[in-house]
Structure 1
Amino acid sequence: MEKKSKEIVLWHEFDGPGDTSIEVLERICKLYTERFGVQITPQVMNITELTARLNQIKDTHQGPHLAMVPADMSSYVENGLYSEVPGWLFDDALTEGALSTMQLDSVQYGIPVLRGNHLVMYYNPEIYASAPTTWDVFEEAAERLSAQGIIPIGADLQQGYWFIPFLTAFGGWPVQHGKPNIVTPEMKRALEFIHDKMDQGVLVSLDGSTGLLEQFIDGKIGAIICGEWIYNHLDKQMNNRLAVCQLPVIEGQQSLSMSSSIGLIYPNHSLTSEEREDILSFTHFMLTDECQTMWTLGVQRIPAQEEVLNRLATSAAPNKKMILSLLDHARPMPTYPFMIHVWEALNAGLTELPLSSPEQALKKIEQTIQASWGAYKS
């Protein structure tokens, strides 16, 4: 009787036509399956569904063996029933700095595979002759571009992560003294700013994985704030019509993105299951020189493995070198367990903003964080 092969299920959120990372992930899973005889089955879903499903595991006890997620989702440890992972098993491939991005209270709950995950400014040099590194450039170009049917700048301002550069430009940060810090004068000023600029037609908010990219590629938007993860797609579509620069200075203050890693977490106590050794073996495989190089050459992502990263930094094209250098100008994403409530509140406020006023959006943020953070504390 033929022995049934093992299956390891991996959830991830490399969805949308622009996220070419799915190509490499699926190739790595196939390669591992062929070499080791263990079926690795990737299952894709959008970030909202992935977040919801991970946070339901405590109730359903239904989950994958692995999930590849942004580092801050390692904080869903209680709801996702994450296994602690022995970080020392991977310190030959990863620095302590890289490992720390997926630690919670110094406990390792994830293993980084990619770095970066930061926002940068992409611009069309046929529309902006030089890098639009200050907001004044967009204001000054607005009348000229509007006459051509072009919007000066776009971002996905229904998502809290895209809002962070505006918040930091006004001196805000969503955490202070280990607690949420989002009902502040800085938050109000940032909301007022984007509300005004959208009203004036200087700034447009579009879905970050579809409409924003499509209109930028079509030349209907001059510049966009978007993630380093989308670079490969834009590079293929635009070639010489694509350039990269630092996020803009707003009213004299530099915008700052968050940065993090993307890595593997182990939901539903998967490292206590009989598949433990296969799961850890696959994790090691993801960090090999071979696989890490596949990410850099195949889809132009930033590897977590130090040696491969150093090779990339010396051989990259100018746009990619700029993206790598901008990682030094980003702030590490907070990984506190309460961050899920912070993102929920920010998203609620940003959804409210186009429908009403900055004051109402701030009120929505306050109501949402009080309800969810209050329930969490109790």
Structure 2
Amino acid sequence: DADFAALATSFTTSHPEVAVAVHLLPNEELKASAIRAKDQQGAPDIIIISSDNIGYADLMRLSELPPEMVDTAMPATTLQTLQFRNKNYSVPLFAGNHLLMLYNKALVKTPASDWPQLIAQHDLFNAAGVQTLALNYQEPYWFSIFVSLFGGNLTYDDTVTLNTPAMQQALQFYQQLAKSGVTNMQCGYRCVSEDFYQGKFAYAVNGTWALTAARERLGSDLGVTLFPQLQGRQIKPLASYIVMVFPNQSLSSEKAPQIKQLTAFFQRPENVQAIATKHFITPYYQSYQTNTADYPDSDGIYPKVLAQRELSQLMPTSAAMVSVWNGMQKGMLLYQNKTLDASAAAEFMQKVSARDQQILAAGL
């Protein structure tokens, strides 16, 4: 975002011999552009993206990191999770990129700790002319939190695992939330952002990336709480690191020295911490610590963010992980319009996602 552009400007001030052009793109457009540009003259040298997208390493022709660029201070389990086929392709900047449960304190006196409580609150909100829960309903990343609620995992060991009882239960529960009016099937990203900020919804599920805007708009009325439980089961949102990757083998290009300079500049603690504090995310070098001393937070938001992060699941950097979303979305729609029942929809998701993984492996 604009913070990275400002950081790049700061770099060029101290390194006037290096010209840096920054282009800001939405996540899906960024992935598509990087893949299209891999064989073009104007391909980017560095992309800042969520770590799960490292599963596109072959398509993006990502450079493998030389040993001196690998942060060996990171815990071995985290380093391994960020590897793709046992190789390092990314330089981490931040941890804690995941969904959160936000609420408006002016509308919610006591946030629901479980789903029956939240559903029971719906009639009160409805009587007050307020909608209950904003979800980016058709986005499978939002839906995935409900798969975790029933104990499901989208992948295992680079294999798609969508055809499960947990997926069927999640589809049914998600549909019931919409049927009962607790959430709205037509809701998109505007609902979880602008409509929530305007007080049209009591609760909203949005990412850590939205906290700065939410706080600016709602001020002291912004609340963050853990996701509601269901019969003792907890939601474990899928999480990722924000990382720098190097498409089109840019670390082997003539610009490699300048690329390494810029990367090292971005990783400086004073640069990382400034952005992390502003956006309630965690610097990569603190991602295995629980110290919140660097977050002056009188309204208690960051401790709640950190508590939810502790319950999150770091997405693997695998071909299976990047292959699940298309199949999930199609299966969700087929279930919602009653073309398929929950069992058939889960089976359909599995088939489409496994096919997409095969297509990815073939480089198509």
Q: Given the two structures, how large is their TM-score scaled by the length of structure 1? A: 0.86
Query: What is the alpha-carbon distance in structure 2 between the residues aligned to residue 215 and residue 113 of structure 1?
Result: 31
User: Which residue matches 2:315?
Assistant: 333
Look up the equivalent residue of 1:349 and give its one-letter code: G
User: Which residue matches 2:10?
Assistant: 31
Q: Mean Cα displacement is larger for which, 334-343 or 26-35?
A: 334-343
Relative to its length, the structure with more strand (as a share) is 1
Query: Deviation at 1:231?
Result: 0.9
User: Which residue matches 1:56?
Assistant: 36
User: Which residue matches 1:66?
Assistant: 46
Whether the 8 Å contact between 1:98 and 1:304 is mirrored in structure 2 is: no
Pair 1:181 & 2:165 matched: no
User: Which residue matches 1:343?
Assistant: 325
Look up the equivalent residue of 1:323 and give its one-letter code: V
1:113 is paired with a residue of what secondary structure?
strand
Query: Deviation at 1:320?
Result: 1.1
Query: What is the alpha-carbon distance in structure 2 between the residues aligned to residue 338 and residue 79 of structure 1?
Result: 14
Whether the 8 Å contact between 1:115 and 1:261 is mirrored in structure 2 is: yes
Look up the equivalent residue of 2:69 and give its one-letter code: L
Pair 1:225 & 2:205 matched: yes
Which of 219, 234, 243 matches 1:254?
234
Query: What is the alpha-carbon distance in structure 2 between the residues aligned to residue 128 and residue 189 of structure 1?
Result: 28
Whether the 8 Å contact between 1:296 and 1:312 is mirrored in structure 2 is: no
1:32 is paired with a residue of what secondary structure?
helix
Which segments of 5 or more consecutive residues in structure 1 lack a partner in the other structure? 1-21
Query: Deviation at 1:178?
Result: 3.5
User: Which residue matches 1:362?
Assistant: 346
Query: Deviation at 1:237?
Result: 0.8
Q: 1:29 to 1:86 in 2, by over 3 A?
A: same
Look up the equivalent residue of 2:242 and give its one-letter code: I
Query: What is the alpha-carbon distance in structure 2 between the residues aligned to residue 333 and residue 350 of structure 1?
Result: 21
2:205 is paired with a residue of what secondary structure?
strand
2:100 is paired with a residue of what secondary structure?
strand
1:83 is paired with a residue of what secondary structure?
coil
Query: Deviation at 1:132?
Result: 1.5
Look up the equivalent residue of 2:314 and give its one-letter code: P
Whether the 8 Å contact between 2:82 and 2:316 is mirrored in structure 1 is: no
Q: 1:179 to 1:366 in 2, by over 3 A?
A: closer
Q: Mean Cα displacement is larger for which, 162-171 or 337-346?
A: 337-346
User: Which residue matches 1:303?
Assistant: 283
Which segments of 5 or more consecutive residues in structure 2 lack a partner in the other structure? none
User: Which residue matches 1:375?
Assistant: 359
Pair 1:158 & 2:121 matched: no
2:202 is paired with a residue of what secondary structure?
strand
Q: 1:371 to 1:297 in 2, by over 3 A?
A: closer
Identity percentage of aligned residues: 22
User: Which residue matches 1:322?
Assistant: 304
Whether the 8 Å contact between 2:323 and 2:354 is mirrored in structure 1 is: no
Q: 1:87 to 1:304 in 2, by over 3 A?
A: farther
User: Which residue matches 1:236?
Assistant: 216
Q: 1:308 to 1:316 in 2, by over 3 A?
A: farther
Look up the equivalent residue of 2:329 and give its one-letter code: N
1:152 is paired with a residue of what secondary structure?
strand
Query: Deviation at 1:87?
Result: 4.9
Look up the equivalent residue of 1:230 and give its one-letter code: A
User: Which residue matches 2:101?
Assistant: 121
Higher relative contact order (CA 8 A, sep 6+): 2
Look up the equivalent residue of 1:129 and give its one-letter code: K
Query: Deviation at 1:121?
Result: 0.8
Pair 1:102 & 2:82 matched: yes
Query: What is the alpha-carbon distance in structure 1 between the residues aligned to residue 275 and residue 48 of structure 2?
Result: 14
Look up the equivalent residue of 1:35 and give its one-letter code: S
Query: Deviation at 1:176?
Result: 2.7
Look up the equivalent residue of 1:182 and give its one-letter code: L
1:115 is paired with a residue of what secondary structure?
strand
Q: 1:248 to 1:309 in 2, by over 3 A?
A: same
Query: Deviation at 1:215?
Result: 1.4
Query: What is the alpha-carbon distance in structure 2 between the residues aligned to residue 278 and residue 363 of structure 1?
Result: 48
Count of matched residue positions in the alignment of Structure 1 and Structure 2: 356
